Amino acid sequence: MKILVATQKPFAKVAVDGIKEIVEKAGHEFALLEKYEQTSELLAAVADADALIVRSDKVTAEVVAAAPKLKIVVRAGAGFDNLDLPACTAHGIVAMNTPGQNSNAVAELAIAMMIFMSRCQFTPATGTEVQGKTLGIQAFGNVGRLVGKKAEALGMKVKAIDPFIPADAIKAAGAEPAASLEELYSTSDFVSVHIPATPETIKSIGYDLVSKMPKGATLVNTARKEVIDEAGLEKALEERPDLKYVTDVAPDNLAALQEKFGLRVFATPKKMGAQTSEANVNAGLAAARQIVDFFATGNTRFKLN
């Protein structure tokens, strides 16, 4: 089987070497397409691929249609909004992600962002400390839970909400369950967002929630820019000069936000939450192992469609 790694933003070299080793040891052929600029390059590369490993690369209906031999695509990472799942299903292709493999990298970034904003983006201005403050975690999955543990170690009070995780399980994991999103936002000095981008969550965080935050609060987004209603966020920041926004996923209106709000808004220049060599290796190798196992035993654990 030909297993193609196609990444616009490449894996660390150590991850690529590890993927190649796993693929070749299992008797498969390894192929690599990195830093491609045109979709046509991806379309040509998938033409004879049996399996595909991607990162944030878009696997659209067009890509799937150009890959007649494709049997499995694995998104090395957690969020899978870059995969057209109905198109994969229509072509009999199994789609998977690698949940949990990059969570620590993202959780560390969320904590770093909180402190960065509390200390006025590392300028000499007088900042605040996170110890003793309340952190609200929106979605208590792999990343959210790790953020909670780290925040607890920093002396923060941790609250969380997740529509698919019972309050008892949230409590057992060491966080206080919030009764509603409104309560989470209105009682948290920081809210860290970890919801996936889905039709239900897109643009779900806007004026109504952000403007409920307590004085001096910060919204931290290491999830997806799509979950924010940018106009609503802008309005809330305009009305409330004490609020701040920090994100790993630059909003479309970033220039306007930074011009209006200066140090109250920060966005990483390029998504970097999972960009550590550890996360690259964990997610890349997991993707390779899942594909090799799928071909060897038919294992479809982590199937998304």
- Number of C-beta neighbours around residue 68 at 10 A: 11
- Using CB under 6 A as the binding rule, the residues of this chain from 231 to 290 that contact ligand NAD are 248, 271, 273-274
Pick from 287, 286, 296: which is nearest to 27 by CA? 296
Q: Which of 104, 187, 192, 201 binds ligand NAD (CB under 6 A)?
A: 201
DSSP result, 169-199: HHHHTT-EEPSSHHHHHHH-SEEEE-----T
Structure tokens at 31: 């192929």
Q: Which of 55, 75, 133, 224 binds ligand NAD (CB under 6 A)?
A: 224
Do residues 76 and 101 lie in contact, with contact meaning Cβ atoms separated by under 8 Å? yes
Report the residue number, 28 or 224, with the smaller CB distance to ligand NAD: 224
- Nearest position to ligand NAD, beta carbon: 141
Pick from 209, 214, 218, 216: which is nearest to 190 by CA? 218
Long-range contact set of residues 294-300: C-beta below 8 Å, sequence gap at least 24: 294/51, 294/71, 294/72, 294/94, 294/96, 295/1, 295/26, 295/28, 295/50, 295/51, 295/71, 295/72, 296/26, 300/94, 300/96
CB neighbours of 88 closer than 8 A, spacing ≥ 6?
59, 64, 73, 94, 95, 305
> What percentage of the chain's residues is helix, strand, coil (to nearest 5)?
40, 20, 40
State in angstroms the smallest separation of the CB of 201 from ligand NAD: 5
Q: Which of 93, 95, 96, 102 binds ligand NAD (CB under 6 A)?
A: 102
Q: Which stretch binds ligand NAD (CB under 6 A): 18-26, 119-127, 162-170, 231-239?
A: 162-170
State in angstroms the smallest separation of the CB of 101 from ligand NAD: 9
Report the residue number, 48 or 183, with the smaller CB distance to ligand NAD: 183
Report the residue number, 40 or 198, with the smaller CB distance to ligand NAD: 198
Do residues 271 and 113 lie in contact, with contact meaning Cβ atoms separated by under 8 Å? no
Q: What angle do CA 174, 180, 181 make, to 5 degrees?
A: 95
Q: Which of 65, 121, 167, 196 binds ligand NAD (CB under 6 A)?
A: 196
CB neighbours of 187 closer than 8 A, spacing ≥ 6?
134, 136, 159, 178, 214
Report the residue number, 50 or 229, with the smaller CB distance to ligand NAD: 229
Report the residue number, 50 or 221, with the smaller CB distance to ligand NAD: 221
- Using CB under 6 A as the binding rule, the residues of this chain from 103 to 142 that contact ligand NAD are 103, 106, 139-142
Q: Which of 24, 200, 242, 252 binds ligand NAD (CB under 6 A)?
A: 200
Check binding of 198 to ligand NAD (CB under 6 A).
yes
Q: Which stretch binds ligand NAD (CB under 6 A): 17-25, 99-107, 119-127, 257-265?
A: 99-107
Check binding of 151 to ligand NAD (CB under 6 A).
no
Check binding of 7 to ligand NAD (CB under 6 A).
no
State in angstroms the smallest separation of the CB of 35 from ligand NAD: 18
CA distance linking residue 71 with residue 64, whole number of Å: 10
Q: Which stretch binds ligand NAD (CB under 6 A): 20-28, 32-40, 188-196, 211-219?
A: 188-196
Report the residue number, 138 or 187, with the smaller CB distance to ligand NAD: 138
Which parts of this chain interact with ligand NAD (CB under 6 A)?
A: 77-79, 99, 102-103, 106, 139-144, 162-165, 194-198, 200-201, 222-224, 248, 271, 273-274
